[in-house]
């Protein structure tokens, strides 16, 4: 077993041989998590942790994360906060930094982007008014806004069952404030996540049917296709 740390996150590699160095692994990720290093994620501190059991295969949850085709019908509250998601794309047209814009004055992954939390000092005004996301293969999501991030960990419990652990991190000085209130972020994120998990569980029921043959990827599923191909390469390479 090999253990390494990146930006405050502990990564475990169960490879019995010589594993790929962690930074090299992260550099090979489609969503470029290394680009988030400019925000100095290690300065953040854990404020809240939630656990949810989802009755779906872990890969279905990741596939859902990798596309926003479902956003207009599944996430009415999220669409009020992130207008770009109304297009069904996960990225915002015209932005080169991978960010998607919050409403003017917004700084958090919350309803309308509003909270009283402290903005990370490493961010510019535009960055603090944005959301950035990254899927780190195989089982991690990073969702961040101006006031912190959510690191989600997917733990397979069986072929049709996954434990999702969401770690909510905030600016360190916020955690010792008497009026620290993470609820605008936690409540909003848990609402959006619950909406995703419900459709993931419906997909699980669908693919479990003997009538199911295969799905079809739309153009906006490009990132899903990348994940599936990478999974197949990892699975076949491991056998
Ligand atoms: Fe979603």
How far apart are the CA of 191 and the centre of ligand 1, in A? 10
How far apart are the CA of 78 and the centre of ligand 1, in A? 9
How far apart are the CA of 100 and the centre of ligand 1, in A? 15
How far apart are the CA of 234 and the centre of ligand 1, in A? 25
> Could you give phi then psi for residue 71, rounded to 5 degrees?
-55, -45
Residue 239 has pLDDT above 80, yes or no: no
- Report the SS3 class of residue 66: coil
**Each residue's pLDDT tens digit, 82-138:** 999 988 888 888 888 889 999 999 999 999 999 999 999 999 999 999 999 999 999
Percent of the chain with pLDDT strictly greater than 70:
99
How far apart are the CA of 5 and the centre of ligand 1, in A? 29
Q: What pLDDT is attached to residue 1?
A: 84
How far apart are the CA of 200 and the centre of ligand 1, in A? 9
Mean pLDDT, residues 5-33 taken together:
93
How far apart are the CA of 72 and the centre of ligand 1, in A? 9
What would the DSSP string read from start to end of 128-177? HTEEEEEEETTTEEEEEETTEEEEEEEEEEETTEEEEEEEEEEEHHHHT-
How far apart are the CA of 15 and the centre of ligand 1, in A? 32
Sheet holding 140-145, edge to edge: 44-54, 161-171, 148-158, 140-145, 130-136, 100-101
How far apart are the CA of 64 and the centre of ligand 1, in A? 6
**Each residue's pLDDT tens digit, 142-168:** 999 999 999 999 999 999 999 999 999
How far apart are the CA of 20 and the centre of ligand 1, in A? 31
Among residues 163, 137, 138, 167, the alpha carbon closest in space to that of 152 is found at 167
> Could you give phi then psi for residue 18, rounded to 5 degrees?
-95, 105
Range ranked top by mean pLDDT from 13-17, 26-30, 233-237: 26-30
pLDDT band at 81 (very low <50, low <70, confident <90, very high): very high
Domains of the chain (ranges; CATH) run 47-238 (3.90.380.10)
Length of the chain in terms of residues written: 239
Q: What pLDDT is attached to residue 131?
A: 96
How far apart are the CA of 65 and the centre of ligand 1, in A? 6
Average pLDDT, the chain: 94
Q: What pLDDT is attached to residue 87?
A: 87
pLDDT band at 238 (very low <50, low <70, confident <90, very high): low
């Amino acid at each position: 077993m090999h253990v390494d740390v990146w930006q405050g996150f502990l990564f475990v590699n169960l490879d019995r041989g010589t594993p790929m160095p962690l930074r090299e692994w992260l550099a090979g990720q489609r969503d470029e998590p290394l680009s988030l290093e400019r925000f100095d994620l290690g300065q953040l501190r854990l404020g809240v942790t939630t656990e949810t059991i989802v009755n779906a295969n872990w890969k279905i949850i990741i596939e859902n994360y990798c596309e926003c085709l479902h956003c207009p019908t599944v996430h009415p509250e999220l669409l009020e906060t992130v207008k770009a998601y109304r297009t069904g794309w996960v990225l915002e047209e015209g932005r080169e930094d991978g960010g998607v814009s919050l409403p003017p004055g917004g700084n958090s992954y919350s309803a309308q982007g509003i909270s009283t939390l402290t903005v990370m000092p490493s961010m510019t005004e535009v960055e603090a008014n944005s959301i950035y996301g990254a899927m780190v293969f195989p089982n991690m999501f990073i969702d961040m806004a101006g006031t912190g991030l959510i690191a989600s960990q997917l733990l397979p419990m069986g072929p049709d069952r996954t434990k999702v652990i969401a770690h909510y991190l905030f600016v360190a000085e916020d955690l010792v404030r008497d009026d620290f209130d993470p609820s605008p972020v936690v409540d909003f994120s848990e609402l959006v996540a619950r909406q995703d998990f419900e459709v993931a569980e419906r997909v699980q029921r669908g693919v479990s049917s003997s009538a199911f043959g295969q799905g079809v990827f739309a153009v906006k599923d490009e990132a899903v296709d990348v994940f599936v191909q990478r999974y197949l390469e990892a699975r076949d390479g491991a056998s």
